[in-house]
Amino acid sequence: MDEQQIAILLEAASRFPRPQGVKLSYGTAGFRADASILSSTVFRVGILAALRSLKTQAVIGLMITASHNQVSDNGVKVADPSGGMLTQEWEPFADSLANAIDAEDLVRLIIEFVKKENIQFGVKSAEILLGRDTRPSGESLLEAAKQGINSIVGAVATDVGVVTTPQLHWMVRSRNKGMQASEAAYFEQLSNSFGCLMDLKPKETTANVMDDKLTVDGANGVGGEKLEELKNFLKEIVIDIRNSGKKGGVLNEGVGADYVQKEKVVPHGFGPNDVGMRCASLDGDADRLVYFRVLSESNKIDLVDGDKILSLFALFIQEQLSILNKENMEAKNGYPVRLGIVQTAYANGASTDYLKKLGLEVMFTPTGVKYLHEKAAEYDIGIYFEANGHGTILFSEHFVSWLEGKNIEFDKTSKGSEQQKAALRLLAVSKLINQAVGDALSGLLLVEAILRHKGWSIQRWNELYQDLPSRQLKVKVADRTAVVTANAETVVVKPSGLQKVIDAETAKYPQGRSFIRPSGTEDVIRVYAEASTQEAAENLAKSVAQHVDQFLGLGSN
């Protein structure tokens, strides 16, 4: 770094002083806090994004959003060249930048990091795609990000406007693959691949009676706005969008996937007239999706969460692979496709049992999308979904190339065969699903395509298995790092003896399962429990929470 660059950074950083007493940590969600204290952080993440672009010699993304948080919050996260999340190796640098005391401290950290990473200036310009959701604070924070980017000589900020978080990730991935990266291209890819799946439906299911209408809760956020645009490209599906944000509703207040999944009640704008209808809910930035059905004469719902979405996707893909493998085994030219399912310990035990009974390989990772995504990428087809509705399907480039080759081969030898249709369906899924990150809009279209393919109602889908009752609690502690876990957070290593008493409590309940893990953001220990009845799950969670409190707590809630 030359003297001119250092001077520019010092001058720009002095305009964005760090608020006193604020310490932030970069996690799966990036940085999140009350929007009023974030300008300094977003400015600094702009610098980080520019340096990341210089380091990778690729386009980087920066998204301003706080997803399912309340409207007064905001946040910022970085998308890597693959369209995935910022590499974990750079997270400590993100933390140190955000918490640098003043401009001089900030520039010192940057100089040290640039030297350590051997980041070259002037070799190639940096480009960062900037997006934001619909939060009122987004515009001013976007300006802070631009100033951070512009403080790195040669860096260019490209504002893509108000977009969903998955759209920004998709655009970054597309740009770095040399493909069209506009919003219009995103809508075109989703609608074309959905249309392809519709054209490939089995004829016998077309006569099945299935309600074509889907009612969607848009969380009064950007997802509702974008779905309004996307639905104009779609045929064979009628989408009624509520809580689109146009009629003065408040973002994520009594609406959205997070609210529906946690509270298990209808969102605002839904009621008795919707009983039995197929409904879906997006979260604030449209990277989570859950389905639900309104129950009669109450505000209660039948929740169809991320575990059930995963199970539907896994079942469909397994069926298509089975059709392909039948042909391949007969011709003795099979491709040993590795299909893997990735879950966390929070996945309902009934879903894991169902997937294993299908003969599928199920792996577990610690909680956090970055861990799930990384593990899923190890397979030819890797599927991950959290119960909260965030997940996707990853297809290896090698497997997609093989499918494309098989399709050409089928054109010559068995055009229109069931095997070719299976290959075309899998190719369409690989284009419809957002392989960069969980995407509520692409996920919703894939769910709708599969339900039509199978001729299933939401009730039939929900009957794949019956969830085990569960309960989650928090225990306040002085120091959450006192708890150390292993085996994808299912076993407590420290403090010594705690796992033994958890095991003893769990053994008292039929189908009992319980684990604890330290929160990633606050000094609490999270407790999860499952059992054969809701009362048993409640009692197990309380017992485990009491043991945690006795070992190291300040009182549970």
More confident residue, 556 or 48: 48
pLDDT tens digits, residue range 349-382? Answer: 999 999 999 999 999 999 989 999 999 999 999 9
| Residue 520 marked as a ligand binder | yes
Residue 145 parent element (H or E): helix 138-150
Cα distance between residue 39 and residue 19, in whole Å: 9
**159 belongs to an annotated ligand binding site:** no
Confidence grade of residue 204 (pLDDT, cut at 50, 70, 90): confident
Q: What is the pLDDT of residues 398-430, one digit of tens each?
A: 999 999 999 999 999 999 999 999 999 999 999
**Does the pLDDT of residue 206 top 70, yes or no?**
no
Q: Exposed, middle or buried by CB within 10 Å (0-12, 13-18, 19+), for 538? A: middle
Residue 64 and residue 78: Cα distance in Å, rounded?
Answer: 9
**Considering the entire predicted model, what is its pTM?**
0.94
- Rounded to 10 degrees, what is the CA torsion of 498, 502, 504, 507? -160
- Distance, in Å, from the CA atom of 475 to the CA atom of 546, rounded to the nearest integer, reads 8
pLDDT at 140 over 80: yes
Backbone φ and ψ of 161, nearest 5°: 90, -160
387 annotated to bind ligand: yes
CA–CA distance, 94 with 111 (Å, rounded to integer): 14
Instruction: Specify whether the CB–CB gap between 46 and 40 falls below 8 A.
Output: no
The residue type of 174 is: S
Assigned token pair, 486: 């292993």
- The per-residue pLDDT for 554 is 61
- The reply, when asked if residue 519 is annotated as ligand binding, is yes
pLDDT at 516: 97
Check whether 196 has a pLDDT greater than 90. Answer: yes
Of the candidates 419, 1, 397, 354, the one whose C-alpha atom is nearest the C-alpha of residue 200 is 419
Per-residue model confidence (pLDDT) at position 334: 56
pLDDT digits (tens, 9 = 90+) for 486-530: 999 999 999 999 999 999 999 999 999 999 999 876 789 999 999
pLDDT at 468: 97
In whole angstroms, what is the distance from residue 475 CA to residue 526 CA? 6
Tens of pLDDT along 147-161?
999 999 999 999 999
pLDDT band at 556 (very low <50, low <70, confident <90, very high): very low
Residue 553 pLDDT class (50, 70, 90 cuts): low
CA distances from 42 to 104, 127, 141, 520 (A): 18, 17, 7, 21
Is 322 marked as binding a ligand? no
Phi and psi at 274, nearest 5°, equal: -105, 10
- Residue 44 annotated as binding site: no
pLDDT in tens, 321-359: 999 987 554 443 556 899 999 999 999 999 999 999 999
523 labeled binding residue: no
Q: Among residues of the chain, what percentage have pLDDT more than 90?
A: 89
**Averaged pLDDT of the chain:** 94
Domains of the chain: 3-162 (3.40.120.10), 191-304 (3.40.120), 307-440 (3.40.120), 470-556 (3.30.310.50)
259-264 long-range Cβ contacts below 8 angstroms, 24+ apart:
259/68, 260/217, 260/290, 260/292, 260/301, 260/303, 261/290, 261/303, 261/305, 261/306, 261/387, 261/388, 261/389, 264/300, 264/301, 264/303
Task: Determine the Cα–Cα distance for residues 396 and 440; give it in Å rounded to an integer.
Answer: 21
pLDDT at 65 over 60: yes
Residue 209 has pLDDT above 60, yes or no: no
pLDDT in tens, 237-258: 999 999 998 778 999 999 999 9
Distance CA 215, CA 555 (A): 42
pLDDT, position 245: 82
User: Is residue 22 over pLDDT 80?
Assistant: yes
Question: ∠ CA(494), CA(497), CA(498), 5° rounding?
Answer: 70
CA distance linking residue 465 with residue 353, whole number of Å? 9
Q: Is there a binding annotation on residue 105?
A: no
* 388 marked as binding residue: yes
Q: What is the pLDDT of residue 520?
A: 74
169: nearest Cα among 221, 131, 127, 225: 131
Distances (CA, A) of 490 to 220, 374, 375, 473, 478: 36, 19, 17, 16, 22
**Given this model, what pLDDT does residue 102 score?**
97
pLDDT above 70 coverage of the chain, percent: 96
Catalytic positions: 67
DSSP string, 58-89: S-EEEEE--TTS-TTEEEEEEE-TTSSBPPGG
pLDDT confidence of residue 122: 81
Beta bridge partners of 555: 476
Task: Report whether 522 contacts 439 (CB < 8 A).
Answer: no
CA 288 – CA 282 distance, rounded (Å): 6
Beta strands in 247-406 (DSSP E): 279-282, 289-294, 301-304, 339-343, 361-364, 381-385, 391-395
Contacting residues for 288 by C-beta, under 8 A, at least 6 apart: 67, 68, 257, 258, 282, 306, 388, 389, 390, 438, 440
521 among the known binding-site residues?
A: yes
Whether the Cβ atoms of residue 290 and residue 257 lie closer than 8 Å to each other = yes
Question: Per the annotation, does 34 bind a ligand?
Answer: no
Question: Is 165 annotated as belonging to a binding site?
Answer: no
